[in-house]
Structure 1
């Protein structure tokens, strides 16, 4: 993926869940590479309780939303800014959400990656659907200047069968929420996504062997031209 970015990012449920830290640790053990901890209606103290239950090796793969004061207390992977939040300087990755295509296209901030969505009808938020047609997204990724922009992850209504098409369009990967936390067994649901990721990566590696003189990342980029 672009700059070594993972294909899948999991965002936490906005609500506190029973045995949440335990489930997240299991997900990391299953192969999850990046987890966004987002609890917009909960205090820093409540969010810290989740982090306190995770081993350090897992915390290093967690990106925090809001509660920037916790960055000094934990070895987190980075910080994610909301679409309206003023950017802060952090160690680790710096990312942001975008909900309007012009804002993404005009972005001048130095970001490691961005979320854009919703691209489909949201699973977790009823009535929250896309405001940008797929044709506009295709046009955006077809522009030469899009190649120099941060990695962009599709957000909203992401299901396993949608991943391949989004990657071919130009997205670096997908950010998932409702398709995992809306299931009775979220760990098993995530493992289903990870299997799709493995299948796509295996297929791309096979195809890349036929791309003379190209590295695997270069081959991936060639698919998006």
Structure 2
């Protein structure tokens, strides 16, 4: 099972060093999400991250940066993707889906899609989970369906059984101030969760 990490919403001291360390310990996908940040601020962080890790990064919004850096792609609002006709040159395209209708729509425009919130958020107070999203049929195709919202190591096996081949963690990684240790716990829980061990029909 693929593990993705979403950055903290704020910038913090030595952030690039921490992200480099996460990549060093096997992180295969990072979503660089900084709501309200300028292109300049996000550009500075990307420049501080080792270039050999850029191919594992999707940047939320800030489309212009995908032309400056050899990053994996961009994450954009679903509505933007549905209305756009020239997004595909940005590498991989990611979006979020919060309802059965949005899940169906995401399958037509995205290479990967977060389905959220599955469980109560660890990072956003009063952001309640919607467990029924776990069982929404996922359209067949090449879209990577990513579980998001309250993801912890002990929930990885469950979301995997529901047909998710990836999960994104944010609050669990950052809240306690030990991101490397927290990622290691997630990696241990995800080990062995492969397509062959997923018996859910989707």
TM-score by length of 2: 0.89
Q: Point out the structure with max Rg over C-alpha.
A: 1
* Per-residue deviation, 1:149: 6.0
What per-residue deviation string (whole Å, max 9, x for no partner) do you get for residues 1-43 of structure 1? Answer: 6xxxxx1110111111111110000000100000010101111
Shift of residue 108 of structure 1?
5.4
Q: Distance in 2 between matches of 1:171 and 1:186?
A: 23
User: What number of residue pairs does the alignment pair up?
Assistant: 197
The counterpart of 1:75, out of the listed 60, 70, 76, is 70
Partner SS for 2:183: helix
For the residue of structure 2 that corresponds to 1:109, the secondary structure is helix
| SS of corresponding position for 2:180 | helix
Aligned partners of 2:39 and 2:62 also within 8 Å: yes
Query: What is the CA–CA distance in structure 1 between the aligned matches of 2:172 and 2:41, rounded to whole Å?
Result: 24
Residue 155 of structure 1 corresponds to which residue in structure 2? 148
Q: Give the distance between the partners of 1:75 and 1:110, measured in 2 at CA.
A: 21
Farther-moved stretch of structure 1 (31-40 vs 87-96): 87-96
Partner residue of 1:171? Answer: 164
Q: Which runs of 5+ in 1 are unaligned?
A: 2-6, 205-216
Question: Where does residue 178 of structure 2 map in the other structure?
Answer: 185
State the partner residue of 1:138. Answer: 135
> 1:152 touches 1:173 (CA, 8 Å); kept in 2?
yes
The answer to whether the aligner puts 1:99 opposite 2:98 as a matched pair is: yes
1:62 matched to which residue of 2? Answer: 57
Q: What TM-score comes out, normalization by structure 1 length?
A: 0.81
Judge conservation of contact 1:153–1:171 (CA < 8 Å) in 2: yes
Q: Is the 8 Å Cα contact of residues 12 and 39 (structure 1) preserved in structure 2?
A: yes
* Compared CA separation, residues 100 and 48, structure 1 to 2 (3 A): same
What is the CA distance between 1:84 and its match in structure 2?
A: 3.4
Matched with 1:209 is none
What CA distance in whole angstroms lies between the structure 2 residues aligned with 1:95 and 1:70? Answer: 15
Identify if the C-alpha distance between structure 1 residues 62 and 174 changes in structure 2 by more than 3 Å, giving closer, same or farther.
Answer: same
Contact preservation (8 Å) 1:63, 1:79 = yes
Tell me how far apart the structure 2 counterparts of residues 147 and 71 of structure 1 sit (CA, whole Å).
28
Residues 58-114 of structure 1, C-alpha deviations (whole Å, 9 max, x = no match) = 111111111111111100011111233345223421111111222112445232110
